[in-house]
Amino acid sequence: MAGSFNSELGCPADWDPACPTASLTLDPADNVWRLTAENLPPGQYEYKVALNGTWGVNYGADGALNGNNIVLDHPGGPATFRYDHRTRMITAG
């Protein structure tokens, strides 16, 4: 998960697709990739999914390949990001 919140997760810089603390983990129960940021500060963030730690293949708004950034207006606290590779859809909540 690369986005403008990566530094808040402990990455050296924002928009770093290779940062391990911003990596999604596959849940084998439903085959959805997830990342929960426990204490994301309030603010407006942008993000997208970059596969395999590079920008070579990435999905943005509406699951579009190389699509626009997704905007998250976050009130603060935990945020869970979900990526379904079957649909290429990315959600946060």
Output the pLDDT for position 93: 86
| pTM of the complete model | 0.92
Q: What is the DSSP string of 24-43?
A: -EEETTTTEEEEEEEEEPSE
Q: Give pLDDT tens digits for 9-53.
A: 999 999 999 999 999 999 999 999 999 999 999 999 999 999 999
CA distances from 37 to 40, 59, 69, 76 (A): 6, 20, 18, 10
